[in-house]
Amino acid sequence: MADNPDDRPPGKVIGALLIRQGLITPADFAAAIARVGRTGGSLMAALEEMGIADEAALVKLFAQHYGVQTLDIETIEPPDEEVLRLLPREYCERHRVLPIARIGKALVVAFADPGNVVLSDEIGAITHLKVEVVVASARAIKATCQRCYAALEKTDLRTTLEADVRELDEGDTALKEGEEVDARALEESAAAAPVVRIVSALITDAIVRGVSDIHIERYEKDCRVRFRIDGVLQEVMALPPSQSSAIVSRIKVLSRLNIAERRMPQDGRMKYTLKSGRECDFRVSIVPFQFGEKVVMRLLDKATLQTDMTLLGFDPDQLAKFQYAIHQPHGIVLVTGPTGSGKTTTLYSALSELNKVTDNILTAEDPIEFVMRGINQLEMDAAIGRDFAGTLRAFLRQDPDIIMVGEIRDFETAEIAVKASLTGHVVLSTLHTNDAPSTISRLKDMGVELFLLADALNMIIAQRLVRCTCVNCRRPQVYDKAACLAAGMTETEYAAATTMRGSGCTHCNGSGLKGRVALYEVLPITDTLRQVIVDGGSAADLKRAGIAEGMQTLRRAGLKKFGEGVTTLEEVLRITRAD
């Protein structure tokens, strides 16, 4: 965790500059340092609170010294809700920072201490955005934090929708089970003002909170809404069960689905635009269950897509090996793991790095999750027979340099991918296996010859997503030594670890966990590994050879993150298997 400005002594350089400019005396500086040591706070905050130096003059001098712009945050428009939610209130007040605006992949943040590079780096790691520093007075940041976050905390979803839910529950638009479907009546109920407001509020809240999936599900006596946040479903509110059909109909309208079809599953897509102008895509699945249709909406927000592979969770050594593998002139790089483990993000980060005007990049995806400029993307469509194997075969006649196949599911796709890599193409794809070494067994079971695999493969990566300790409420925590050693830590690692645990706060909904980071098991296919593959070695043989060559298993990667305070031991044990 970044050093709190409260915990480190102010720099002598800035102090000398303040004295030289005549803003303070040496005695003032000594008094300010003493105050920081006693009560905490930044140097600027101490000088302001003691009334030693003029606020405006301090801000100007800090800006000039650190080469950043000043910002009068008390006179500008308040930051958007989605920007404020990037950092919790307590964190901002403690560190004297305030998120101001999001511009593409950059986040403008006001600092009272613009020289705190460690804090800037931590905010970048928390938000997965590049931090652009501006300077404002400590007093102004504190006052603006209190005002903006107080307003934000009043916008709780249940409170916001209470009147609309009550109005909807008292309405007469319910469609009874077994009743003949009247398309016009459904359209009218879907267009009712309370329905429109409820659906809009649900979608907006999900986007702002960084939700990956929205679940709306009807049961016998109730209808509940759940959000999947950091991989875990959380109930957020209940809706009138009699009105679930109107809610579902509204989503069907937005997704351009058949509003009258309630017997068969339907899949669609929709685009939603926030007031700030930010656009998000949703993949919508509607399936009829016993008591009514269930909706699952997968959020595909390009603004949150992390294509900077340095921020995904790779260790420096793993990252260097991954970059080397994808930049080879030909060969296959496979990313393995279960659904929802972040494989697509890893592949998109690779494509982003490889995306150059000199290369022809083609992708076969099911579905296309994010549109990337400069890359030719094709979505699979089983209804017309467009599958991975046939598409991959067609790609080879399109003069490709780099091919990405969403998933290798069968022998035909695997065979064509291997042949493509052996004829001078880079092929990226995914597979469902438990770890990197077992990928060879999976491909062998599909029918791919081992000698071809040994020649074609450049690298196999296995990955999982693990929840992070909440940066707002985490504190040092000594874990039971026996439990840590049983999990796989060494005595030396346990002694050197800086372990953390979140106590629970509003930012993390009391869980102590907020956000996720990837754990990687990176297996470069070296000459030694190629020989093991050709000899028909088992997954265990490949694992032993990989570890001898420097591979870090998923469990080891998790324990390393645990030792750094990034996650908890419980999360590592939940996500990874023992070696």
In this prediction, residue 41 carries a pLDDT of: 64
In this prediction, residue 382 carries a pLDDT of: 86
Residues 274 and 342 in one domain: no
Q: Which residue has the higher pLDDT, 365 or 508?
A: 365
Number of Cβ atoms within 10 Å of the Cβ of 235: 10
Torsion of CA 7, 8, 14, 18, to 10 degrees: 40
In this prediction, residue 204 carries a pLDDT of: 87
Predicted confidence (pLDDT) at residue 164 exceeds the cutoff of 80:
no
In this prediction, residue 182 carries a pLDDT of: 54
Distance of CA 341 to the CA centre of its chain: 11
Separation CA 131–CA 145 (nearest Å): 18
Buried residues in 203-212 as b, exposed as e (16+ CB within 10 A):
bbbbbbbbbb
pLDDT one-digit tens code per residue, 243-252: 888 899 999 9
In this prediction, residue 207 carries a pLDDT of: 87
Residue 487 lies in a domain: no
Counting beta carbons within 10 angstroms of the beta carbon of residue 158, is it exposed (0 to 12), middle (13 to 18) or buried (19 or more)? Answer: exposed
pLDDT one-digit tens code per residue, 444-497: 999 999 999 999 999 999 999 999 999 888 999 999 999 999 999 999 999 999
Residues 249 and 329 in one domain: no
Residues 180 and 139 in one domain: no
Residue 72 lies in a domain: yes
- The sign of the CA dihedral 448, 527, 552, 124 is negative
Percent of the chain's residues with pLDDT above 90: 58
Which of these three, 302, 334, 361, is where a domain ends? 302
Residue 255 sits in a domain of what CATH number? 3.30.450.90
Q: Which residue has the higher pLDDT, 536 or 26?
A: 536
Residue 531 lies in a domain: yes
Residue 232 lies in a domain: yes
Domain count, the chain: 3
Separation CA 118–CA 95 (nearest Å): 12
Q: Which residues pair with 107 in a beta bridge?
A: 102, 131
Which of these three, 272, 302, 332, is where a domain ends? 302
In this prediction, residue 175 carries a pLDDT of: 45
Residue numbers of the domain that contains 368: 305-465+519-552
Residues 231 and 293 in one domain: yes
Residue 389 sits in a domain of what CATH number? 3.40.50.300
Predicted confidence (pLDDT) at residue 191 exceeds the cutoff of 70:
no
Residues 138 and 169 in one domain: no
**Cα dist from 193 to 36, 184, 205, 272, whole Å:** 54, 16, 18, 18
Number of Cβ atoms within 10 Å of the Cβ of 43: 26
Query: Of the ranges 405-409, 417-421, 470-474, which one carries the lowest mean pLDDT score?
Result: 470-474
The DSSP line for 35-69 is HHHHH---HHHHHHHTT-S-HHHHHHHHHHHHT-E
Predicted confidence (pLDDT) at residue 4 exceeds the cutoff of 60:
no
Residues 146 and 66 in one domain: yes
Residue 503 lies in a domain: no
Residues 98 and 187 in one domain: no
Separation CA 203–CA 331 (nearest Å): 42
Could you give the angle at the alpha carbon of 310 between the alpha carbons of 308 and 316, nearest 5°? 160
Predicted confidence (pLDDT) at residue 178 exceeds the cutoff of 70:
no
The one-letter amino acid code at 172 reads D
Q: Which residue has the higher pLDDT, 209 or 39?
A: 209
pLDDT one-digit tens code per residue, 260-287: 899 999 999 999 988 767 788 999 999 9
pLDDT one-digit tens code per residue, 312-354: 999 999 999 999 999 999 999 999 999 889 999 999 999 999 9
Residues 141 and 175 in one domain: no
pLDDT one-digit tens code per residue, 66-101: 899 999 998 888 898 889 988 988 889 888 999 999
Which of these three, 247, 272, 302, is where a domain ends? 302
Residues 104 and 241 in one domain: no
Q: The whole model's pTM is what?
A: 0.74
Confidence of residue 378 (pLDDT cuts 50, 70, 90): very high
Residue 480 lies in a domain: no
In this prediction, residue 109 carries a pLDDT of: 97
Q: What is the mean pLDDT of residues 117-124?
A: 91
Q: Which residue has the higher pLDDT, 34 or 296?
A: 296
Percent of the chain's residues with pLDDT above 70: 90
Residue 76 sits in a domain of what CATH number? 3.30.300.160
- The sign of the CA dihedral 272, 217, 470, 497 is negative
Predicted confidence (pLDDT) at residue 176 exceeds the cutoff of 70:
no
Residues 256 and 310 in one domain: no
In this prediction, residue 208 carries a pLDDT of: 80
Residues 309 and 297 in one domain: no
In this prediction, residue 155 carries a pLDDT of: 56
Residues 415 and 341 in one domain: yes
Query: Of the ranges 57-61, 120-124, 340-344, 439-443, which one carries the lowest mean pLDDT score?
Result: 57-61
In this prediction, residue 180 carries a pLDDT of: 45
Separation CA 412–CA 239 (nearest Å): 47
Q: Which helix (H) or strand (E) holds 459?
A: strand 457-469
Q: What does the mean pLDDT of the chain come to?
A: 88
Q: What is the mean pLDDT of residues 434-443?
A: 96
Residue 566 lies in a domain: no
Top-confidence range, 159-163, 195-199, 500-504, 524-528: 524-528
Residue 173 lies in a domain: yes
